[in-house]
Each structure stands twice: as structure tokens, then as C-alpha cells.
Amino acid sequence: MVIVGDDPASQVYVKNKEKACEAVGFNSFKYALPAETTEEELLALVDKLNNDDRVDGILVQLPLPKHLDDKIIINNIRVDKDVDAFHPVNVGKIMIGDYSFLPCTPAGVMELIKSTGTEVAGKECVVIGRSNIVGKPQAMLLLHENGTVTITHSKTKDLKAVCRRADILVAAVGRARMVKADYIKEGAVVIDVGMNRDENGKLCGDVDFEDCKEKAGFITPVPGGVGPMTIAMLMKNTLTAGKEHHGIK
Ligand code: L34
């Protein structure tokens, strides 16, 4: 795990990942680099980890400080150690449904949906947000499960009406408690990917949980919903990578 700079939220997430590694019995090495780290220095570390046989999975926590280009860094992580599935080769594999790693957050969302007993096939699935990390791959995973998928974004007309069609609603916009009860269909599965701080500094999701909890069939809280599942999926990918590297079935 590589973390650059001192973003407090990233530090919490990385700490939680370290704890998870310990809980499942993985060795983890944390590299906390100063915010001023240069591209050259970060690439040198990535290269060292690429070639270190003790390392099965590499994760560079995002966001990186502004002077560093995520794309260049991610492109240099070995494809078979890219346990985030952010490398363009892994992203491409996901598009065609031929993958070893799924991106952790969308994969965690799929597990949460599965846990409700809801069949995705044929359902109206609406994803709010089109980021490369969540929105786009999320839509693809729902599509692989034969959902009828709509991706919405800032230019979507009448977002509320589109969301109200959803049997499965995944909110990944990054706007505190934006989704209210009038955005959801009675009985819908509502998955909240948001990780925001409200005006009082309190951690909250994109969904107004209190407002929606009676109307939704199933709803995930923040904290304690998608975040821990993201980490669980990271452990799963790392195990897959480790087995592959060591020839274990
Ligand atoms: N490279 N960067 C890379 N991989 C990732 O998979 C991530 N992501 C996102 C941000 N940057 C990344 C994460 O790890 C989001 N994310 C993440 C991971 C864990 C948690 C939240 C986001 C988490 O542990 N959430 C806890 C509460 C945390 C708190 O108290 O602040 C929860 O219960 O939701």
C-alpha cells in the first residue's frame, strides 16, 4: 500500500486496509510518502514493488497530490498485481467480461445487492455518477448480470424521475444526503457509495438514510456499508493475485 501526502480520509481508509490484512493473515507493507514526492520517486517505488516477489498486490491510494498524474502511476503498476483493477488492461478486461480482478467498490456493491436475495437480471438499475472508479465499472457489472442499466450524471434531465424507476439504485455522486425519499421507488434496493462530510463534519453518504429507510426495501448505511465491503473485495483480489503468483488453485 502506497499513500502519498496527508489527506486525513485516505489515512483512515489505508489504516482500515492494514487492519483487514492483519485480520485475514496477509503481510502488508505500508509506504507513506510525503506530499512533495516526485513522479520519478513514486514510479521508482512502484517498480520496486512490481519486482518484489513478496508482493502479490499493489495499491496506490487515490487521490494523489495534484502534481502527480494518477494515470501515469496506474499505468506502471504490473497488471497482475493491480488489485484495484484500475490499470487500463484490467479495465478493458472488465468491459469484455474476462477478468481476474473486479474493481473493489463496484464488486462490493454487487455483493451487497446479492445479499438481499434480489436478482439483478431484468431489473431497472440506475447508477448516479459516472466516475472511472465507481460509476462506469458499476454499470458494467450490473450489465454483466443482465440488469437494464442507466447511468446518470450532472447533465441528466429530471434525475429524480429517472431514479424513481430504479429497482436497484446505486448512488456514487459525492453530494451529502442528496438522495431523498422522493428519488426512490417503494421497495427499491438502495446502495450508498458516498463518503462525504456534512456541514458539521459528520461522515455521511449520498443518500439521506433517515428519509429513505422506510421507503427502501433494502438500504446501506454510511459508515458501515460499502466502505467495509470495498476493503473485503480488496482482500479477495489480493488472495486471487497471490494464488496466481504462487500457482495455487
Ligand atoms: N487506489 N484508492 C484506491 N483504491 C481504492 O479502493 C480507493 N477507495 C476509495 C478512495 N481511494 C481509493 C477506497 O479505498 C474509497 N475507499 C474507501 C475505503 C474504505 C472506506 C471508505 C472508502 C472505509 O473504511 N469506510 C468506513 C468509515 C471510514 C471513516 O470512518 O472515515 C465505513 O464504514 O464506511
For ligand 1, atom 29: residue with the closest CA: 12
The C-alpha atoms of residue 119 and residue 167 are separated, in whole angstroms, by: 10
* Portion of the chain with pLDDT greater than 90, in percent: 98
* Portion of the chain with pLDDT greater than 70, in percent: 100
Asked whether the whole model's pTM tops 0.95, one would answer: yes
Question: pLDDT class for 249, splitting at 50, 70, 90?
Answer: confident
| Residue 207 amino acid letter | V
> Does residue 222 share a domain with residue 109?
yes
Question: pLDDT class for 86, splitting at 50, 70, 90?
Answer: very high
CATH number at residue 32: 3.40.50.10860
Please count the structural domains in the chain.
Answer: 2
For ligand 1, atom 21: residue with the closest CA: 227
Looking up cell 469484455 gives 96
Question: pLDDT class for 105, splitting at 50, 70, 90?
Answer: very high
Residue-averaged pLDDT of the chain:
97
- Site to substitute for ligand 1 among 4, 16, 235, most atoms within 8 A of C-beta: 16
The pLDDT score that the predictor gives to residue 55 is 98
List residues near ligand 1 (CB under 6 A). Answer: 12-13, 16, 59-62, 84, 104-105, 195, 203, 222-224, 227-228, 230-231
For ligand 1, atom 14: residue with the closest CA: 13
Question: pLDDT class for 222, splitting at 50, 70, 90?
Answer: very high
The residues that are catalytic are 17, 61, 84
Tell how far the Cα of 59 is from the centroid of ligand 1, in angstroms.
12
Q: How many CB atoms neighbour CB 225 within 10 A?
A: 22
> Does residue 112 share a domain with residue 75?
no
Domain span including residue 145: 104-226
Taking alpha carbons only, the member of 195, 192, 128, 118 closest to residue 164 is 128
Q: Is the pLDDT score of 75 beyond 90? A: yes
Domain-embedded: residue 217? yes
> Does residue 196 share a domain with residue 119?
yes
Q: How far is CA 169 from CA 97, 191, 196, in A?
A: 22, 6, 18
Looking up cell 514510479 gives 43
pLDDT in tens, 109-163: 999 999 999 999 999 999 999 999 999 999 999 999 999 999 999 999 999 999 9
> Does residue 200 share a domain with residue 111?
yes
Question: pLDDT class for 246, splitting at 50, 70, 90?
Answer: very high
> Does residue 126 share a domain with residue 15?
no
